[in-house]
Every structure is written in C-alpha cells, then in structure tokens.
Amino acid sequence: MSKIINIKKAVFEHKLKQSDTKQYSGYLFEDVYPNIDKLLEVFDNSGIEERNFCIPIEFFQKDNPFSLKNNLFREIALKKSIELIKENISETGLKLDEITDIIFINTTGLSTPSLDASIVNSLKMNPNINRYPIWGLGCAGGVSGIAKANMIAKSNPNAIVLVIAAELCSLTFRRNDLSKSNFVATSLFSDGIASIIVAGDKSSNRFDIKFDVEILSSQSRLYYDSEDVMGWEFLDDGFKVVFSKDIPTIVRDNVKPDIESFLRNNGIGISDIENFIAHPGGAKVIQAYIDSLGLNTDKVFNSREILRKFGNMSSVSVLYVLEKFLSDGFTDGYGLLISLGPGFSSEMCLLKMKNK
C-alpha cells in the first residue's frame, strides 16, 4: 500500500474578517437587490470567521481584466507552490531528483504549459519526471489527486509522488457580475495551496514520520444529468461561477448510499470510520453530512474549523482538513477522505491511520 508521508499548507498574508467582506459585498450589490440586508445573512450563516487571500482587498475594488488576474494566478501559485515543496523536501529529507511523479491540481487559473512544468523547471527536478496536470474537478480535486497518487504508487512501489493543489479563488472574482451565484460565492471562497508527498511500498519505509497513514482504496462517482449544478461559464472577462442552491440537498440524498457502497466493498461500514475527513464546502454541506450519515458533531469538528478559519478553497480545503488531523491528532483506525465537485461528482479515499 502507498502511504502519505508529509503534507504542508500555505497561509496567505492577506486575512479578511467575514464582517469586512460582508460590508464590501453590501456596498457592491445594494443597488441591485432592494432586500440586500436579508441577502447579507448568508455571510452570518456561513460558518466562516475569516478567510485568506493572495492579494489585498483593494485589488477587487476596480474592474480587472482576465489577463491580469490569470497572470497573477500563474505568478503567485508558482511562487507559493515552490515554497511549500521546499518545506516538504526539507522536512522529509528527500532530494528533488528522487520525486518520480508530480500531480498538479487546480480549477481557478489557466496555464499551458501547466504549472507543474514551471515547477519542474524552476526547481530543476528530474527531467524524466511523470507529470499529471488535473484541471476542472473543482472541490473534488484534492481527494482525486490523493487517489491518483495511490494508483501511481501501486503500479510502481518505488514511486515518490508529489501532489500539489493550488486554488486562488479570489482571482476569479468578476466585479461586474451581480448575480446571486456570485453574491453567494463572495461569502464562501478563498485562496489556498497544499503540497503532499505519497510514497509507494518500497519507498515509504525510509521516512521517519510521526504517523502511519496508508491509502487503501478510492472511488469516483459521476451523477448523471447534473452538469449544471456547479462549475464555470467562460465569458470574455473571466470565469462566471455556476453554483446551485440544491448542492446540500444533493449531498443529503446521495452521499450515504455512495459511502455505504464504497465501504461495503472494503469490508467495513460507516460505524468503522474513526476519522471523517470531509471537504467543508459550506455550513449547509457539512450539516448535510451530519444529517444523512447520523454523525456526531465532533466527527466534523476539523472540517468546521477549516471552514471557520479559511473558508472554501475549492480542491485545497479537504487537504487542509487532512493536515489538521495529521498535525493535531487523530484516532487510530479508518479514515474517510471525501469531497464533491463539478460534474456533479464525488471522490473518496479510504485510509488506515495509526499513530506511531
């Protein structure tokens, strides 16, 4: 089995209280919605206290062309990704040329060549490294990246796989989009980057780590006729957010049978999951997990904490939740990584977790 060796997360320097973004959004949308005070309650009910952004809020007080925002994405995501990789390398004792595969996940910026190529060039990594850019999975991308790393490591027990998820959601903000979807998005999304190292059977034993986390299996699920639930509409000035209010209902109706089927195929049930590592898509999504699975609220504590402190960082959020489990402590036993995203789809990974 492959193992998670280390994980690092970025914390951007521009922090905003939810009350500040609420005030700015009220100013921006008040001429369009006469009932703006009622709509602004979404900020109060979001479960978010503050968010991290890669750029000061003043940047968003004027119209910015897509070209500028996308160039900033490439510049900032590359710089921060390299910083995290160096931290990961330093903590694990790895050499850059020992990394056999690199997976780069994002949905909030465009680059061809993909940013994994820029990372390899900047760090002068192994020129024969296998590159896997993953674009468009949105919030489901983080778990999918872990699953793909596991597949690679299973096929090559000597593999050392670097997974990077980089989402700068703030740079997709379109000031002239006064739709309710964009209004809701302004209350939720933020910026984050995570870097994870996954090693195959023959590579993992060399690392001295304080936890033993095996990736046992994974499952993807695409829900038919749900492409309009979440995603982007591509316009001249950038990405227009598509965001259905029915997402919590979809989670509530579908997540339990999907999880039960996945776990049953692995010979266990929901009651066997000690560590519930869920993407915190929003307060209502977390509540949908609780309602559909009959969870105690302590099972979603870490998901709620990441939502409270960071907001929704798309593919990155669930990796921050995983990092919190590994840093703050977990219960020996099974862990379930789960996230949902555009498609509409779900991604799951089953972990076996043990403290050393």
The percentage of residues in the chain with a pLDDT greater than 70, rounded to a whole number, is 100
**Which band of pLDDT confidence, cut at 50, 70 and 90, is reported for residue 354?**
very high
Q: Kindly report, residue by residue over 16-73, the tens digit of the pLDDT.
A: 999 888 888 888 788 788 888 888 988 989 999 999 999 998 888 888 899 999 999 9
pLDDT digits (tens, 9 = 90+) for 113-136: 999 999 999 999 999 999 999 999
Residues 37 and 144 in one domain: yes
Model confidence at 242, pLDDT cuts 50, 70, 90, reads confident
The pLDDT, as a whole number, for residue 225 is: 85
Closest C-alpha among 352, 343, 355 to residue 144: 343
Q: Are residues 170 and 219 in the same domain?
A: no
Asked if 287 and 248 count as a contact pair (C-beta separation under 8 A), the reply is yes
Domain match, 167 and 299 both: no
pLDDT at 199: 95
Q: What's the number of domains the chain is made of?
A: 2
Q: Which of 54, 139, 169, 349 is catalytic?
A: 139
The larger pLDDT score, comparing residue 97 to residue 251, is at: 97
Residues 333 and 268 both lie in one domain: yes
Residue written as token pair 């500040």? 20
- CATH number, position 155: 3.40.47.10
Quick one: 67 and 167 in the same domain?
Answer: yes
Same domain, 308 and 273: yes
Residues 41 and 178 both lie in one domain: yes
- Distance, CA of 247 to CA of 232 (rounded, Å): 15
Shared-domain flag, residues 196 and 331: no
Task: Say if residue 170 is in the same domain as residue 191.
Answer: yes
Determine the structural domain holding residue 91 and report its residue range. Answer: 2-204
Residue in the structure block whose two tokens are 């195959």: 200
Split at pLDDT 50, 70, 90, the class of 316 is: very high
Q: What is the rounded distance in angstroms from the CA atom of residue 322 to the CA atom of residue 335?
A: 10
Domain ends where: 170, 204, 238?
204
d(CA 341, CA 321): 16
Residues 6+ apart with CB under 8 A from 36: 26, 29, 30
Question: Is the pLDDT reported for residue 308 higher than 80?
Answer: yes
| pLDDT confidence tier of residue 204, bands split at 50, 70 and 90 | confident
Last-in-domain residue among 176, 204, 232: 204
- Boundary of a domain, candidates 169, 204, 239: 204
Q: Do 24 and 135 reside in the same domain of the chain?
A: yes
Burial class (CB in 10 A: 0-12, 13-18, 19+), 65: exposed
Name the residue among 118, 110, 288, 91 with its Cα closest to residue 195: 91
Q: 3-class SS at 287?
A: helix
Burial class (CB in 10 A: 0-12, 13-18, 19+), 231: buried
Whether residues 188 and 282 fall in one domain: no
Q: If you write DSSP's letter for every residue of 150-209 in order, what string do you get?
A: HHHHHH-TT-EEEEEEEEEGGGG--TT--SHHHHHHHTTB-EEEEEEEEE-HHHHTT---
Say if residue 137 is in the same domain as residue 278.
no
Distance CA 320, CA 148 (A): 18
Strands in 14-107 per DSSP E: 14-17, 50-53, 101-106
What is the C-alpha separation between 319 and 247, in angstroms, rounded?
21
DSSP letters for 223-268: -TT-TTSEEEEEETTEEEEEE-TTHHHHHHHHHHHHHHHHHHHTT-
**pLDDT higher than 80, residue 246:** no
Other Cβ atoms closer than 10 A to 258 = 17
> How many alpha carbons fall within 13 Å on the CB side of residue 325?
34
Q: Is 139 labeled as catalytic in the residue annotation?
A: yes
Confidence of residue 180 (pLDDT cuts 50, 70, 90): confident
